[in-house]
Amino acid sequence: MFVVGCPRSGTTFTGSALGSLPGFVDLDEVTPLKAALPRLAALPEAECARELRSILERVRLLGLARGLRGVEQTPETSFVLRAALSAYPQAVGVHVVRDGRDVVCSLLERGWFRSANESADDAGHAYGAHARFWVEPERRAEFAQVSEARRAAWAWRRYVSAARTAATVDVRYESLRDSAREIADALGCPEERVADALSAFRPDSIGRWRHELSSDQLADVEAEAGDLLAELGYTLSR
């Protein structure tokens, strides 16, 4: 199983919950795969699929996870999900979609797109205002010039747009506990077990954007991702 979506969208909770199901194992974010994804995303699909499977099979072997259904939850797998599902034809791609404005709040809190952030993630990818591999080539220079809120909204738009083109099932963060049947059907698992795994979900952060985003930040978010927010049914108002 590949659990994908924009960072700060609930992929960690969802991956961990589904990885606790009998017969499954939570692989977390597979660091060697995460490190390779910017390069893999530029490869032809068949070549990407071969390399992705080679990386994951080494991890499964070293982690003694053979015989179990692995749950991989690296958000950047969103950009190679079609290749991932080609590499594992029996796999399921679960895309977790969260209100982009709440995602922006969480990303601002983390500071991953902040100009002054000179640190890096566990795969060695630098944080900061520079353009990532998923930024449109013709807009790379622009990315570093816009506000941090707009960069965060840009990330949400690109991750969601990529993941939803290949996902087996899309689920909403806001109604995650109500998605058990849909996920269970996709996985071929008893619904009650999936429901139990998702029961620990807490909706406390839903709608935080209403009191955390300034008017300028909200305007930047809507300028960058308003069309997709509206398409997904997220009302563009406070």
Task: Identify the structural domains of the chain with CATH numbers, from first to last.
Answer: 2-231 (3.40.50.300)
Q: Give DSSP secondary structure letters for 43-94.
A: S-HHHHHHHHHHHHHHHHHHTT-TTSEEEE--GGGGGGHHHHHHHSTT--EE
pLDDT band (50, 70, 90) for residue 237: low
Per-residue DSSP letter, 147: -
What's the confidence (pLDDT) of residue 238? 59
Nearest 5 degrees, angle CA 178-CA 184-CA 189?
Answer: 140
pLDDT in tens, 218-228: 999 999 999 99
Check: CB of residue 27 under 8 Å from CB of residue 71: yes
What's the confidence (pLDDT) of residue 29? 94
What's the confidence (pLDDT) of residue 68? 85
What's the confidence (pLDDT) of residue 59? 86
Residue written as token pair 């909200």: 218
Q: 10 Å Cβ neighbour count for 88?
A: 19
pLDDT over threshold 90, residue 206: yes
What's the confidence (pLDDT) of residue 47? 98
CA nearest to 100, candidates 148, 157, 147: 157
pLDDT in tens, 176-189: 999 999 999 999 99
What's the confidence (pLDDT) of residue 163? 97
Percent of the chain with pLDDT over 90: 91
What's the confidence (pLDDT) of residue 64? 59
Q: What is the pTM of this model?
A: 0.95
pLDDT over threshold 90, residue 236: no
Q: How far apart are CA 151 and CA 145, in angstroms?
A: 9
Structure token pair of residue 223: 């300028």
pLDDT over threshold 90, residue 100: yes
